[in-house]
Structure 1
Amino acid sequence: MRYSNPVIKGFYPDPSVCKVEDTYYLVCSSMQYFPGVPLFESKDLINWKQIGHCLTRASQIQLDQVNSSGGVFAPTIRHDNGRFYMTTTNDTTRQNFYVWTDDIYGEWSEPIFVDQQGIDPDLYFENGKTFFMSNGKDDFNIDGIVQCEIDIRTGRKITPSRTIWTGTGGRFLEAPHMYKINNKYYLVAAEGGTEFGHMVTYACGDSIHGPFKSYPHNPVLTNRNMGGYHIQAVGHGDLIEDNNGHWWMLHLGFRQSGQWLPYHHLGREVFLTPVTFGDDGWFTAGDNGVTRTFFETDRIPTAVVQQDKQRYTFENTNWDKDWCFLRLPHKQNYSLEQNQITLKGTEISLDQADSPTFIGIRQKDFNVSISCNVNLTIGESGITIYMDEHHHYDLAIRYDGGVYKLIERINIGDVKTIMNEIALEGSNHATLIIRSSNERYTFLAHTNDKEILLGTAQTKYLSSEVAGGFTGVIIGLYAYGKDSLAEFTKFNLEYL
C-alpha cells in the first residue's frame, strides 16, 4: 500500500512510541499548552487516534507564566510489567520526571523526579532493572548521552550518572533511546538541532553501558541536503517493531511552506519511515536515508486505508482531547457545551506569557477555512491564529466607545497594530471567517447578509524561522477584557 507523511499532522513534535500486544501508543511534546503530552493509539502505525493526555492536573506540571516553547519537552513512553511509563522534562524548571498508569485510558500518577541533568529523557527496562538516560553533563562533568540506574518506585539514583556516548560530532546531541535487538544494544539519538540540519544518528554495543560504536554511515536518516523538498528537519526518532517483525521509525519533521519558501508554521509533525536491518547488524532507514512524502510498502496490508479527517466542529471534537489551553486555565472562565462555548475574558491578553481566556485546536494543513459565529456582550472576542505571545493574528469583535467593531489585528514581534476596523451596524454579533493557504491568511466577516474583507497577512511571520521556538500555529477562540463575555457557535474548520 501507499501511505503519506506526516501520519499525525500539526504541532505534535518529538514522538515516542511503544507497542503492547497489537496496539501502538504514541506521545508528543506539548510545551506551554495544557493538558500536557498528547497520547495516541493505533493498530496500523498510519491511522492514529488521540485517546487523552498524560498530564491532566496542575499538580503534575508547573506551567504558570512559562514562556512559549518552555514547559514540557520530548517525552518517552514505555511499557513494563503491565504498567505504562511516560518520562519527560519541564524545561522551564529544568526537572526530569516520569508518571505512570496501569490504565492507558485513565489518569496518570503524580510526578516522580530523577536527579539527572539534561532533557529528552528515556527509560529502558531489563531484568528487573531500570535505566534512565538524557542528554547533558554526567556526574563527572562530561557532556553526552548520560545514563544511570534508578529505583523505578522512587526515582532515586542507584548508580552515578555516566556519559555512555558523545555522538558523531553534530551539534545538540539529544533524544536518546535504547533498544536491545538480536542481543545487541542500539543507542539512537538526534543531532544537528531540530531545524534544517536535523538528523538521526545511532551506535551499537554489546553492553547497555557501552562502549558504543557509531554506525559507519551516520546519519542514518536526514533530509538536510534535500534543498526545496517539502519535508525538512527530519530527526528525533523512536524505533518500533510491528507484529510481523518489520521495523519502523516514528520521528519528527516539518513541511515547509513551498519549494522556495523555507518557513514552517504548522509546527513539527509526526512522520513514519521504514527501517531495515542488514545481515551485518546495522540498520538503514527511509529511501537511502531520506524521509519521503509517500512510501510504497508491502509491510502494511493493502486493506488498510489511511484516514484523513477534513472537518472539525464543536460537535465532532472532544474538549479534553482535541482542544488545549494556554498554560493552566482558569476553568471558571469557560463553559464548554456540545455545540457552544461561552468565554469570560480577563485582563490577561494574548500578548502575555500567562493564561488568557483561550481554547485552541492545532492547524493541521496549509489550506483551511475557519468560521465561527461570535456574539459579544462586552470587551473583545474572536479567533486568533496563534504562534506565541509575540506572533499572532486576531480577527475579533470589540466593544469600543459604545460601538461594536470588527477588527483585524497583526502582532509580529514589536509590531502590534490594528490593520483594519469596521463598525458593526446595530449588531453585536457576526460570523468570523479566516481562510488560509500556504502563504497567506485572509480575514473576513459575514454580517447583515454581506461578506466583508478585512485584510490578509503572510503565514511566514508566524513561522518558527521568524518567531523562533518549537511550537506551531494553534487556531484559538479567545475573550479579553474585564467583564468580557462572548458566545461562540457553529464553529467549522474544514481543510480544502
Structure 2
Amino acid sequence: MTYRNPVVPGFYPDPSAIRVGDTYYLVNSSFNYFPGVPLFESHDLVNWTQIGHVLTRPSQLPLKGAGTGGGIYAPTLRYNDGRFYMVTTNVSFGGNFYVYTDDIHGEWSDPIAVEQGGIDPSLYFEDGHAYFMSNGDDDEGNHGITQCEIDIATGKKLTPSKVIWTGAGGRYLEGPHLYKVDGSYYLLASEGGTEYGHMMVYARGDNPFGPFTNYAGNPVLTNRNLGGYQIQGTGHADLVDDGHGHWFLIHLAFRQLDRWIQHHTLGRETYLTPVQFGADGWFTAGDHGTTRAVMSAPGLENVVQKPRLLPLSFHNTAIGREWVTLREPDSARYCFDQDVLALRPNQYGLEEREVSPTALFMRQRAFFSTVRVTVDVTANAAGLAAYMTEDLHYDAIVERVEDQVKVARRLRVGPATTTDHVHVLPAGPVTLILETTNYQYHFYAEADGERFDLGEADAHYLSSENAGNFTGVMLGLFTEQTDEPDADWIKFSDFAIEYPKEEDVE
C-alpha cells in the first residue's frame, strides 16, 4: 500500500506521537491560539481524526499578549503506568510544564511546572524514574540537550540538570526525544532550524545520561538537498512503532507554493516516514534519507488511506475542535448552534496583539479550496479573513452604514493597509466567498442574486518567509466595532469549505 503525505495537512507542526495498545495519539504545537495543543487519534498511523485539544482552560493556557511567535511551543506526548502526559513550553507565560490525564478523551490536569528551562521538552519513563529533557542550559551553564530526573508528582528536580548531548554539528539543536530499543538508548533531535535546512539527527548510548555516539550517517532524514521538490523543511520527529516490529518517524515538513517558489503558507504539517533498523542497531529513514509525497512502508500493506479533507460546515465542526480563537476568548460573545454562529464584537480587531478579538479561526488545510459564509450585519462590521499574523491578512469585510452595507476587500501587508473594490448595497445578508489556490486568494461577494468581484491578492505575501513566524494561514470569521459598542449580535450562516481536488505534491 502507498500513502500520501502529509498525513495531517495544514498548520499542525512539531508532532509527537505514541501508541497505546492498538491506538495511536498525536499532538501538535498551537502557539497563540486557544484552545491549545491539538489532539488526534488513529488506528493505522495514516488516517488521523482530531478528538479535541489538551489545553482547554485559561488556567492551563494563559496567552494574554502572546503574539504569533509566542504561546505554546513543541509538545511531547507520553504514556506511563496508565496515565497520559503532555509536556510543553508556554514561552509567553511560565516556561516548561506538563499536564496529565487518565482519560485521553477527557479533561487534563492543571499545569505542573518544571524547574529546568529551555524549550522543546520531553519525558522518558523507566523503572519508576521520570527523566525530563529540553534543549537549553544545564546547571553549570553548558548548552545542549539537557536532562534531569524529576518527581513526576510535583515537577521538582531530583538530580542536577546536565548536558547529555551537543548534537551532530548542525545549528539550532532542538526537539529531543529519548527511547530505549533492544537495550540501547536512542537520542533523537533536530538541527538546521525549522526551515529549509531542517534535518533529523540521532545518537545511541548505553545509559539514559550517555555518553552517546553519533550515527555516522547523520542526518538520518532531511529534504534540504532536494531542489525542485515541493516538500521541504523536514524535521522535528518522534519515533513510534506498531508493536509488530515496524518503526516510523512522525515529523513536520512544509509544502512550498510549488516546487520552485520558496514560500509556504499552510504552515508546517505532519508527515509519516518509515524507519528501518539494521542488524547493527542503527536505523535509516525514508527514501534514501528523504521524505516523499507518496511512500510505502512495511506494516501498512492493508491500510486504506481515506480522503484527508472532507467538506466542512457549521454542522460538522465545533468551537474548541476545528474552530479556535486568538488567545483566551470572552466566551459570552460567542453563540454557536450548528446552524448559525452569532458573534458580538468587542473593541479589538485583527491587528490586536494583547487580548482576543471576537473572531473564530480554522486552519487552511489545502492550497485549493472554496470558502463561503453569509453575514447579516445589523451594526458594526464583520467579514471573512485569510489570516497569517496581525500584520499579514487579507479580508472581505461587510460594514453597516445606516440603512446600507458597504462591502470591500481589505489587505494588510506589514505597515500598509489598503481598502478597495468597495460596493454599497441595500442592507441585508451578504455572502462572502474566498477561492484559494497555491498562488492567489480571490474574494467575491453575493447579494440579491448579484455577484461582485472583490479582487485577488498574491499568496506569497502571507507566507511564513514574510511573516517570520511558525504558524500557517488561518481562515477567520471576524467582527469589528465601527459604531455601536453594545449593538446586536452579528450572525454568520451557510458556512462551507469545499476542496475541489485531492492535491498532488510535486
Q: TM-score, normalised by structure 2?
A: 0.96
CA distance in 1, matches of 2:303, 2:30: 33
Q: Report the counterpart of residue 66 of structure 1 in structure 2.
A: 66
Separation in 1 of the partners of 2:491 and 2:303?
A: 44
Deviation at 1:91, TM superposition (A): 1.1
Structure 2 residue 214 is the aligned partner of structure 1 residue 210: no
- Distance in 1 separating the partners of 2:467 and 2:319: 28
AA aligned to 1:377 is: T
List aligned pairs for 1:170-249, cutoff 5 A. Answer: 170-249=170-249
Counterpart for residue 357 of structure 1: 358
Q: Is the 8 A contact 2:63 2:93 kept in 1?
A: no
1:494 maps onto 2:495 in alignment: no
SS in 2 for 1:378: coil
Partner SS state of residue 315, structure 1: helix
TM-superposed CA distance for 1:69, in Å, is 2.2
| Residue correspondences, number | 495
The aligned counterpart of 1:392 is: 393
Instruction: Tell me the amino acid that sits aligned with residue 62 of structure 1.
Output: P
Matches of residues 364-443 of structure 1 in structure 2 within 5 Å? 364-400=365-401, 403-424=404-425, 426-443=426-443
Q: CA deviation at 1:93?
A: 2.7
d(CA) in 2 for partners of 1:136, 1:309: 38
Measured in 2, the distance between the counterparts of 1:191 and 1:404 equals 52
In 2: Cα distance, 1:437 partner to 1:309 partner: 15
In the TM superposition, 1:19-30 aligns within 5 A as 19-30=19-30
Runs of 4+ in 1 over 4 A off after TM superposition: none
Q: Does 1:83 align with 2:83?
A: yes
Residue identity in the other structure for 1:270: T
Deviation at 1:94, TM superposition (A): 5.3
Q: Is residue 2:486 matched to residue 1:483?
A: yes
Determine the C-alpha separation between the residues in 2 that align with 1:3 and 1:303: 9
Q: Report the AA paired with residue 212 of structure 2.
A: F
State the percentage of identical aligned residues. Answer: 50
- 1:402-424 Cα distance to aligned partner (Å, 9 max, x none): 54100100001111111221101
8 Å CA contact 1:203–1:215 kept in 2: the answer is yes
Q: Do the aligned residues in 2 keep the contact of 1:13 with 1:268 (CA within 8 Å)?
A: yes
The whole-number CA distance in structure 1 between the counterparts of 2:352 and 2:195 is 26
- How far 1:61 sits from its partner (Å)? 1.5
> How much does 1:396 deviate?
1.4
Hey, what's the Cα distance between the residues in 1 that align with 2:409 and 2:55?
A: 35
Query: Within 5 A, what are the aligned runs for 1:21-420?
Result: 21-93=21-93, 95-353=95-353, 354-400=355-401, 403-420=404-421
Deviation (angstroms), 1:400: 3.6
- Aligned equivalents of 1:332, 1:143: Cα separation in 2: 46
Q: Is the 8 A contact 2:8 2:308 kept in 1?
A: no
Q: CA deviation at 1:401?
A: 6.1
SS for the counterpart of 2:430 is strand
Deviations 1:105-159 (A, max 9, x none): 0000000000111100000000000000000110000000000000000000000
400-409 vs 428-437, which moves further:
400-409
Determine if contact 1:94/1:117 at 8 Å carries over to the other structure: no
Aligned equivalent of 2:503: none
What SS class does the counterpart of residue 465 from structure 1 fall into?
A: helix
CA RMSD of superposed structures (Å) = 1.1
Look up the equivalent residue of 2:199 and give its one-letter code: M
**5+ long unaligned stretches in structure 2:** 501-506
Q: Distance in 2 between matches of 1:474 and 1:392?
A: 9
TM-score (ref. length: structure 1): 0.98
SS at match of 1:120: strand
Corresponding letter in the other structure for 1:492:
A
Letter in 1 for 2:360: I
3-state SS of 2:113 partner: strand
